[in-house]
Structure 1
Amino acid sequence: MSHDHATPREPRPSRRETIERNLWASPALFVLAAWVLFRLGDGTSTERLTDLAWITYAVGWVPALVMLGRSAVRRTNPGVGAAFAFTVLVLMGVLFGGNHA
């Protein structure tokens, strides 16, 4: 007698869904990299790292804006991924601006 109870498993997300989720989450990585560069720049007298941090932060907007545009073209709801991406970008942009402008 087998007592193998089949537990309902969620289906694996498709490759497209996985890529979309990662693109929506990627601004967090750019923000983290920018934060590290700002911190390193605070310890030096050069503006180079601060400039690089701002560039890194700005590049973090690219995947979020591309995904938002893709959602608009496909006429789909961008969902919670957009809320996460833009909240992180706006919040950290305000904090970075307050500390490094």
Structure 2
Amino acid sequence: MERKSRIAVSAAAAAASVALVGGGVGAAMATTADDQSSEQSITGAALDRASAVALDFVGEGEVTGTEVGDEESLYEVEVTRGDGTQVDVQLDESFAVVGSKADTENDE
């Protein structure tokens, strides 16, 4: 009986290890699929406020990306205009615009 118990425990441990490694590979693949995997998106009320400020600053468009703790500011909001151009709007902790950068790359 003791031998069967050890085999069952060993099999369960092996299955857990495979699941853990497989899950880790899946997580690694998910994070490397996006070059900006370490970025944290703005959420909740901060997202609403940052989006409104960025859209007002740009004048038109749609929020297509956000980031907390950007290298240039606390918040970064990416706004895509109707013509496809993008503007990254930098906001401080009080949601004041501290900078912006228009994306001039063409994706052809």
Larger radius of gyration: 2
| Higher share of residues assigned helix | 1
| Higher share of residues assigned strand | 2
Using the size of structure 2 for normalisation, the TM-score is: 0.28
Point out which structure has higher relative CO (alpha carbons under 8 A, 6+ apart): 1
Using the size of structure 1 for normalisation, the TM-score is: 0.30
